[in-house]
Amino acid sequence: MMVELAHHLYLLVAVLGLALSVSYGGQPVLCQGAFLAVGGFGVAHLERAGLPLAGAVLVGAVLAACAGYLVGLLTARLRGAAVALSTWAFAWLVYAVLDAFPTVSGGSQGLVRPSPARLHSPVFDVTVTLTPLAHVVVAGSMCLLTLAMVARLTRGPAGLEWAALREAPALATSLGVPVLRRRAALFATTAAVAAVSGAGITVLLGVAAPSDVSPLLSLQLFVAALIGGTARLWGPVLGLLVIAVIPPLADGLAGAAGLPAEASGGVLTAVALVAVPLLRGPVERFAGRWPERTRRPGEPVEDTEDLAPRTAASREAVVLTARGLDVGIGETDILTGVDLEVRAGQVHALIGPNGSGKTTALRALAGALRPKGGRILLEETDVTGAGQLEMVRRGVTRTFQRTVGLERLSPYRQLLLGVRGGSPVPFAAVRHLFASESMRDHAAAADREAWRALRLTELAGRASDRPGDLGAGEQRLLQVARAVATGARVLLLDEPAVGMTGPERVVLARVLRRLAAGGAAILLVEHDLALVHGVADRITVLDRGRVLATGTPESTAADPAVRRVYLGDTDPSSARG
């Protein structure tokens, strides 16, 4: 009885670890059993090699974390479906390897632990005998510790990044969150927790057997994390229900109905597992999903100087330059020989008909697309081929054409995400977890930056509202605000006025001028020519991937080629198709 309870609690630890990847990271990870195996067999082998138990568990956890980081990196770019497939295949691969190499797994009998379940600390001269009761205490405390750590992490910088990873990975990248590394790190943590849990089970049962870490266990843990991980309070309870209560209950029911207990219990368990995903929606509505802490951030006293220009020295200096940029997507050439100069303190509008390559130009400048030819210079530095993350670090941030929302983060928290992405603090999550003193200064600075961006974009009044309550125009403004929050010197804005009403466009124009006056260099892709002519200092017109004209609003408006493309002034000799 105690043994079973301890076993289930250890499995619950694995579920709580898995919830990091599944519920918080949004990745369908189906190989938790494989990492349990790393811990379980690892401990048995390491102890045979002469390591003390604690050391063996630690080494096992580190090994699993490395394996998890590797698998995480390999799967980080994949779609959810492909992540599920590869982790499921990995679970079966590990199982097949255990089956194929009895020297590793001890064959169907498993590996028996050599030493008795006794912990001796030479430092304190204490010996603890690991009775089942001791295991229950250890596993239970591990559950509580994992829960507390996850809860603390969620409230800190990591929680912000996880929300972005889960809901809008592309947005996260554009704000400077290293999505691939974060996913891999989550994977590694998940694996390390699993390994500790696996080691605990091996010590508890005195044997590591392949059948205890079959891929079916991975499935069971996944389902438990799926239903349990979504609710903070109910999570562990529901998770425990799936792993510990349903199987024996099913066996019992089958036995009571006079059926062969084990076989028909398996059927009932399978039915329950089929039903759990279907029940997930109702459970989430009932239990509430990732309740956002509703602590309203206190707005600091208005500090007008804070909005003053920061880089007054370099007004009108060229910040971002494209020279002869050729960009293609796949085999299709989109841009050919595009030259562009964006200056500090200016709004530079990029206009052109649909399909002329405006968004592609923004993506290339932001580092999201690698140009096939030409160069991109940031001030004097050649940044051709630098990735999005590096460009954000260097102060170049873009927004998206469509509205990308983070439904569960208030505007203030979304801006904090931008601040963190723009100037990342090394090991922020870990330092937050251990309440490092230096993190308080960082948090205070981030708070100031977020409020500054909110004020610059006139969203301060909406700081702690639900994003869903913002109007369509405010949502667009919020996108700009997130980019501003990264501390960008160059803002690449893709049609920020889409869906805005007339008055909202006035606000946007005012915000853009204010940002430019603050020293930012703004490249604005926009179809609303009235807005463009109202705010732009310079205009570049693209047509079919080439620069048609560039100059002041007046000169481009007068350009005959521009008039032909834009206004349909047809010259019968040149217009065909």
Partner 1 sequence: MSGGVALQAILSGLALGAAYGLIAMGFTLVYRLTRVIAFAHGDLVVGGVFVGVLAVLGTTPVAAAPGLARSAGLAVLVVAAGAALSAGVYFIAVRPFLPGAGHRSTGGDVLGWVAGGLAAGLLIREVLGLVLTQDAYAVPDPLRLGRLTPSGVLQLPGGGTVAVRTLGVIGIGLAVGILVERLLVLTPVGTAMTAVSDDPTAAALLGLPVRRLVLVAFVVAGALAGLAGLLIAPDRSLGVDDGVVLGLKAMAAALLGGLGSVRGALAGGLALGVIESLIVASDVLGPRFADVVPLAILLIVLALGRQGLRSSLREDPE
Is 448 among the residues that bind partner 1 (CB under 8 A)? no
Contact region for partner 1 (CB under 8 A) — 147-155, 169-177, 473-481, 503-511? 169-177
Is 276 among the residues that bind partner 1 (CB under 8 A)? yes
State which of positions 379-418 bind partner 1 (CB under 8 A): 400
List 107, 132, 255, 266, residue binding partner 1 (CB under 8 A): 266
Report residue 313 as tokens: 């020295």
Residues 29, 18 contacting (CB under 8 angstroms): yes
Min separation Cβ 95 and partner 1, Å: 9
SS3 category, 233: coil
Whose Cβ is closer to partner 1: residue 93's or residue 149's? 93
List 48, 181, 280, 544, residue binding partner 1 (CB under 8 A): 280
Site string for partner 1, 326-365 (x = CB under 8 A): ----------------------------------------
State which of positions 554-573 bind partner 1 (CB under 8 A): none
Handedness of CA 556, 562, 567, 569 (dihedral sign): positive
Residues 376, 346 contacting (CB under 8 angstroms): no
Element containing residue 493 per DSSP (H, E): strand 490-494
Is 223 among the residues that bind partner 1 (CB under 8 A)? yes
Contact region for partner 1 (CB under 8 A) — 103-111, 271-279, 317-325, 553-561? 271-279
Q: What is the residue type of 285?
A: R
Element containing residue 378 per DSSP (H, E): strand 373-378
Contact region for partner 1 (CB under 8 A) — 131-139, 277-285, 308-316, 468-476? 277-285
Residues 550, 349 contacting (CB under 8 angstroms): no
Contact region for partner 1 (CB under 8 A) — 167-175, 379-387, 459-467, 513-521? 167-175
Min separation Cβ 177 and partner 1, Å: 14
Whose Cβ is closer to partner 1: residue 77's or residue 155's? 77
Is 79 among the residues that bind partner 1 (CB under 8 A)? yes
Output DSSP code: residue 295: P
* Rg of the chain (C-alpha set): 29
Q: Regarding beta strands 538-543 and 347-351, do their DSSP bridges make them parallel or antiparallel, or are they unpaired?
A: parallel
Handedness of CA 161, 165, 166, 167 (dihedral sign): positive
Contact region for partner 1 (CB under 8 A) — 75-83, 148-156, 201-209, 527-535? 75-83
Site string for partner 1, 478-517 (x = CB under 8 A): ----------------------------------------
Q: What is the distance between the terminal CA atoms of the chain, rounded to a whole angstrom?
A: 81
Is 216 among the residues that bind partner 1 (CB under 8 A)? yes
Is 271 among the residues that bind partner 1 (CB under 8 A)? yes
Min separation Cβ 161 and partner 1, Å: 16
Is 41 among the residues that bind partner 1 (CB under 8 A)? no
Whose Cβ is closer to partner 1: residue 79's or residue 295's? 79
List 34, 136, 153, 273, residue binding partner 1 (CB under 8 A): 273
List 170, 237, 517, 575, residue binding partner 1 (CB under 8 A): 170
Min separation Cβ 226 and partner 1, Å: 6
Whose Cβ is closer to partner 1: residue 22's or residue 497's? 22
CA distances from 433 to 149, 413, 421, 511 (A): 7, 18, 18, 37
Min separation Cβ 266 and partner 1, Å: 4
Q: In sequence order, what are the beta bridge partners of 335?
A: 327
The CB-side HSE value for 449 (13 A sphere, CA atoms) comes to: 25
Is 74 among the residues that bind partner 1 (CB under 8 A)? yes
Whose Cβ is closer to partner 1: residue 446's or residue 483's? 483
Is 267 among the residues that bind partner 1 (CB under 8 A)? yes
Closest by CA to 319, choosing from 519, 121, 169, is 519
Dihedral angle at the C-alpha atoms of 409, 415, 421, 423, nearest 10 degrees?
A: -150
Is 575 among the residues that bind partner 1 (CB under 8 A)? no
Contact region for partner 1 (CB under 8 A) — 55-63, 216-224, 232-240, 553-561? 216-224
Report residue 296 as tokens: 């309203």
Q: What is the rounded distance in angstroms from the CA atom of residue 537 to the CA atom of residue 347? A: 5
Report residue 369 as tokens: 């697309």
Is 3 among the residues that bind partner 1 (CB under 8 A)? no
Distance of CA 83 to the CA centre of its chain: 15
Is 460 among the residues that bind partner 1 (CB under 8 A)? no
Q: What is the rounded distance in angstroms from the CA atom of residue 476 to the CA atom of residue 503? A: 14
Closest by CA to 370, choosing from 352, 391, 385, is 385
Is 92 among the residues that bind partner 1 (CB under 8 A)? yes
List 6, 13, 30, 192, residue binding partner 1 (CB under 8 A): 30
Q: What is the rounded distance in angstroms from the CA atom of residue 496 to the CA atom of residue 351? A: 13
Is 17 among the residues that bind partner 1 (CB under 8 A)? no
Is 269 among the residues that bind partner 1 (CB under 8 A)? yes
DSSP assignment of 165-219 equals: HHH-HHHHHHTT--HHHHHHHHHHHHHHHHHHHHHHHHHHHTEE-GGGG-HHHHH
Min separation Cβ 121 and partner 1, Å: 41
Is 226 among the residues that bind partner 1 (CB under 8 A)? yes
Residue 530 neighbours by CB distance under 10 Å? 12
18-43: b or e for each residue (b if 16 or more CB lie within 10 Å)?
Answer: bbbbbbbbbbbbbbbbbbbbbbbbbb
Residues that bind partner 1 (CB under 8 A): 22, 26, 28, 30, 74-75, 77-82, 84-86, 88-90, 92-93, 96-97, 99-101, 169-170, 173, 215-216, 219, 222-223, 226, 260, 263-264, 266-267, 269-271, 273-274, 276-278, 280, 368, 400
